Chains A and B, each alone.
Chain A
Amino acid sequence: MAMQEPALPDTFREEANSLASAALASITPRMVNRLGGVAESTIAALDLLTSPEIVNLLNTLQKASPVLTPLLGQIAEIGPGAGMDGLADRILRAVQSGAAEVGEPPRPISLREMIRLLRRDPAMAIALRFFLGFVRSMWSPTKGQ
């Protein structure tokens, strides 16, 4: 007698079926297109950010600029294969500690001031452009069309 797989609890099956039915009834072609685009952008950005080339670049830049040390040190900690959770937060915190290092006491700074500080250092400007390019790649209006 063939072994039967244990049946899923009826309640779970009912919940899963109802969810799938509701999702199927509400989804649209444009939603599928956009979801595909977002997924592609996310995967591409993750792949780029965690590639050995980028990590090596960050390490090289870190050695080249003392101002960059706190910033890139924290980014490089992410390492290959890591996720993007908290990436923006890490960068902002690193830039804030960078601001403190150039002779000012630790304090919260505005985004405008943060960008001004970043632009002060050529290497920082490269990092900023890299970051903004990444953000743009995530949210470009033409992605996924």
Chain B
Amino acid sequence: MRKRLLIIGAGTGGLMVANFVGRDLHGEIERGEISVTLMGEQEVYTYQPGFLYVVFDLMRPAQLIRPVRELLAPGIAFVHDRALRIDAQAHKVLRAQGDPLEYDILVIATGSNLNLQEVPGLAEGGHWFYTLDGALRLRDALRNWQGGKLVLTVGVPHKCPVAPLEFTMMFDEWARLRGVRDKTEIVYSYPLGRAHSIQSVADWAGPELEARGVRVETFFNLESVDPAKHVASSLEGTDLPYDLLVAIPPHQGDELGSTSHLTEAGNWYPTDRHALSLQGHEDIFVLGDATNLPVSKAGSVAHFEAEVLADNLVGLLTEGSPPLHHYNGRAFCFIETGLDRATFISFDYEHPPTVPGATNAVHWFKQTYNRIHWANLKAVM
């Protein structure tokens, strides 16, 4: 009897798992012994790390978007639809259009979404670069920037943990190159008592920001925004007037988890930190932003998890073997420290990162990766 693997979510994690398994089990799929189906709400895949470059006119939106079907390995079916509810007992996923999809093994890779509603006034008074529309709106605002006070706020949790630092450092250099830095005040705020949640990154970032003349405002948890008065207010009672507010909005998991009664607070799926199985469900796995794991919500995490999960899925689909490969919390993040230099951090559950000095080479490595990400996604490389 044919075994059915269903993957919900056509982002980085979902596409990579589908392609890794699809390529490994090419023969089984051709012979009809195994089916791999990817279900996605969007027909196009968007490379989200590119939004940061769109803001500074360093990449065009067209460079970040490709049709999902073009990214799938042969033999993988794509269902363009929204999953409404997972019926874990019946092994079915109900969807907005068409009959429910049945599965033997389910992978949830539904990512995370901005939760703008959590901060009153933010949608009206703020900018962000975590969506393509938002990045384009911020790009347009920067094109007209002649100076003033830019305030950056950080909501938690959020994906790409170093993006707030990257934006701040890139904006600083961008303003210098435009000749408006002396007319520009930059305020970097953070909800904790330091510049970043990871201690070693905070230790590195503090002096870097200070050297750039960036004011760091700690213990600033954005509570509300007054779009008319241009004031951002924190839970701690601090008011920050701004000319341009760039917010990292707090994120939450997809509502599919709550409608299926499978998630906990924030719509995050309780996930086994090594096997990546949904707790209490041996035939459901979770990866990427959707998990509740204490790791960064980043593309690299989805990638590393996808490799481990794919190896386990291949064993499960072909031999019924239990998960033999363990995810160790591995994460890797480039950190742009300006417009032509970058560094990186690499860490896992047991080993916190250190931050090496920034170089041109790492910046160009990142630029190269931005352009060959597709090969990675397709599991060609």
Contacts and interface: CB of A to CB of B under 8 A. Distances in A.
Interface string B67-83: 00000011100000000
A14 B359 contact: yes
Interface of A: 14-16, 18-19, 21-23, 25-26, 28-31, 34-35, 38, 139, 141-142, 145
Interface stretch (B5-13, B17-25, B47-55, B201-209): B17-25
Contacts of A29: 307
Interface size class of B (residues with CB under 8 A): 20 to 34
Nearest to A34: B381
Interface in B322-365: 332, 334, 343-344, 346, 356-357, 359-362, 365
Contact of A19 (B75, B303, B307, B362): B362
Interface in B358-381: 359-362, 365, 376, 379-381
A18 B359 contact: yes
Which secondary structure dominates where chain A touches chain B?
helix
Interface of B: 20, 22-24, 26-27, 73-75, 300, 303-304, 307, 310, 332, 334, 343-344, 346, 356-357, 359-362, 365, 376, 379-381
22 contacts: A15-B359, A15-B360, A18-B343, A18-B359, A18-B362, A19-B359, A19-B361, A19-B362, A19-B365, A21-B356, A22-B334, A23-B365, A25-B332, A25-B344, A26-B332, A28-B304, A28-B307, A35-B381, A141-B23, A141-B26, A141-B75, A142-B26
Contacts of B24: 145
Nearest to A139: B380
Given A25-B332, A31-B381, A141 B346 contact: no
A18 B363 CA distance: 10
Contacts of B27: 142
Residue of A21, A35, A139 with highest tally of chain B CB at under 10 A: A21
Contacts of A141: 22-23, 26, 73-75
B280 to A, nearest CB: 29
Contacts of A26: 300, 332, 344, 346
A143 to B, nearest CB: 9
A135 to B, nearest CB: 13
Nearest to B74: A141
A26 B362 CA distance: 12
Nearest to A28: B307
A31 B372 CA distance: 12
Contact of B346 (A14, A19, A25, A142): A25
